[in-house]
A and B are shown apart, each in its own frame.
Chain A
Amino acid sequence: MSIPWLTAEVVEIAAETPRVRTIRLAVPGWRGHLPGQHVDVRLTAEDGYQAQRSYSIASPPEEPAIALTVERLDDGEVSPFLTGELRVGDEIELRGPLGGYFTWTVERGGPLALVAGGSGVVPLMAMVRHRAAQASRIPAHLLCSWRTAEDVIFRDELARLAARGDALEVTHTLTRTAPADWRGHTRRIDRELLVEVLPGPGARPTAYVCGPTPMVESVADLLVSLGHMPERILTERFGPTGGRS
């Protein structure tokens, strides 16, 4: 049986950063999802024109609504609409859950080495929220790379989760500019940062790496070179390669 398109109603829109919105959707007929999975969104214009895109789910399975956290891409067709024009009460269509590989539940165990570049944090956030909802104490380290402090998504919630004392650690690094009072790291994720922050290969962590392609390529290569097993490094990449096209 094919996965049906469902009608989803926008029940809440929250501004995370100037470029990022979290869209909470009520989806009658939703069959549940695993942290890390995504949905296809389909928008239909009055003239019948349709556009489809994939978005990771930010909410854990424990919440009834589906939350999509969407970053505005200025040259995009769907994300400027979702982050700028969509309103509470509007209807969109979605299909899912999709993607059965880049997923984690507490049954899978740990430790977890989560590495995010920008909005790549979204599927990892579903994992961290699920872990908290399950009152899990599985050791988990979340390392997030952002361009500037203004781009940090989920900053307050991540600080609250890390303060629970349940073996979740969250580390931020800023790659472009940092405010004077910034006490975190201020460089791209490099070998030293991975060694300092994440569990080593001896702890046999499962790594989930999600972000723009060059960042994921770099982090996955570094993890392999540090001795992490390639089959325990799960990746999700988005955006162009930056190379010839």
Chain B
Amino acid sequence: MHTLFRDRSALPTPRSDPTRARVEDGRRAAGAIVITRGFKSRRPHGDPGRVPPGQYVTDDFPVLSAGPTPRTPLDRWSFALRDVDDRELASWRWGELLALPSSTITVDIHCVTKWSKLGTRWKGVTIDALLEAAGLDSPAPYVMALCDGGYTTNLAMEDLLDGRGMVAYEYEGAPIEPEHGGPARLLVPHLYFWKSAKWVRGLMFMEDDEPGFWETHGYHLRGDPWKEERYSGD
């Protein structure tokens, strides 16, 4: 089964092309571009004003989750805002969430694993509307999203306000399927999609920015796709 295409005569000869210069440890020399022989674009290029760097557009809706898909029955579901000491400030059961003023938005989403999906339509309750319903006024500079299955992700409050974040419960006019984060997921489309936490059950306010699940496993604290903030240190 293992057919080796071992062709020692094809090993590269030293190159003099300065654009291929590289330093000894393999890092690119400043400004050098490593061109891969024979590679060509095979698809129409995405609009660079709409598709962030390093992303490609897909019509699929891939699923990425670190564990089994949790399934909480709606009659036992609730969503809570919690203070810095993890005390509950406000809470809504499923029917109560649906009764709050809703918003529908159509946005592009960008996953750190490189796919982008354009023009996705979501319905839910903005974080602004949740805070207003709870009578709270931006209580802390950061939040940790808390989810079924133990997933967490950290966000700056300013990334959630002014309509930038919502708790979404419909995708393309239908309930969000469990593998895509239903019954409700956070939606923060201007950040990489791991910030749009699936199966979200609450937000805990924080005075300091602390890493959530993927952020402790090497991913960026904020995750702005336009700055390509994929991994810690980007």
Contacts and interface: CB of A to CB of B under 8 A. Distances in A.
Interface of A: 1-9, 12-17, 27-30, 40, 42-54, 77, 80-81, 85-93, 98-102, 155-156, 213, 217, 220-221, 223-224, 230-231, 233-241, 243-245
Nearest to A26: B26
Contacts of B1: 15-17, 155-156
Given A51-B56, A89-B11, A244-B172, A213 B179 contact: yes
B42 interface: yes
B34 A98 contact: no
A233 B10 contact: no
A65 B164 CA distance: 44
Contacts, number: 182
Nearest to B148: A230
A91 to B, nearest CB: 5
11 contacts: A3-B232, A49-B45, A50-B54, A51-B39, A54-B113, A91-B34, A92-B36, A217-B179, A221-B69, A230-B149, A235-B68
A90 B1 CA distance: 24
Contacts of B234: 2-3
Interface stretch (B57-65, B76-84, B100-108, B139-147): B57-65
A221 B218 CA distance: 27
B194 to A, nearest CB: 12
Contacts of A213: 62-63, 179
Given A4-B27, A29-B27, A235-B65, A13 B218 contact: no
Interface string B48-76: 00000010101111111111111000000
Interface string B7-42: 110111000000010101111100001111111111
